[in-house]
Amino acid sequence: MKTINTKNQCIEEIQNYGLDRLKDSIGLDSYGCDLHHELYNMDYFIIGTYEAKKFLESYGVFKAIEAVKDYEEFNFGENYTDYSNPEKLVNMLAYIIGEEFLCKSEVLSNNWDNRLSEETIEEIIEELENL
C-alpha cells in the first residue's frame, strides 16, 4: 500500500480498490444490485492490524468510528462492528465508502435489477473514473 496521509487520500484509495476489483470483474455474471457486495464484501480491503491502524490514523480513528456507528444504526438499527479491532473497523469503513462511491453511478442505478454485461461494467468504470 502506498503512503496515505489524509482522509481524502484514504477515500481515494478505497475508491481505487473498488475500481480495480470492478475492472477484474469484467466477464463475471452479476446483477447491478449485487455489485457493491461483490466489490467490497467478498474480500478484505486491508489485512493486518498494523496496516489497518496506519490507515485509520490517516483517515481519523474517531471519524471512522462515527461513520461506521452512524451507518450501522441507520441501516441495521444497532452496531455490529467491533471498534477495538482495527481490521474490522477499516474494512467496514471501506464497505461504506464503497457504497457511497458506487451510488454515484447513474449507469449502475439504471441497471440495478439487470445482469451486468461487459459493456455495462465498462460504462460504469468509465463513469466512475470521470468523477
pLDDT tens digits for range 77-114: 999 999 999 999 999 999 999 999 999 999 999 999 99
Q: Minimal CA–CA distance to 49: which of 104, 16, 90, 17?
A: 90
How many CB atoms are closer than 10 A to CB 111? Answer: 20
Q: Residue 30: its pLDDT value, please? A: 86
**Which of 19-28, 51-60, 95-104 has the weakest average pLDDT?**
19-28
Those residues whose C-beta lies under 8 Å from the C-beta of residue 32, and which sit 6 or more positions away, are: 108, 109, 111, 112, 113, 114, 116
Buried b (16+ CB within 10 A) or exposed e, 56-66: bebbebeebbe
Beta bridge partners of 115: 31
More confident residue, 27 or 123: 123
Residue 122 cell numbers, joined: 465498462
Helices and strands: H and E segment counts in the chain: 7, 0
Q: Residue 16: its pLDDT value, please? A: 97
Q: Domain locations in the chain?
A: 7-129
* Phi, psi for 31 (deg, rounded to 5): -90, 155
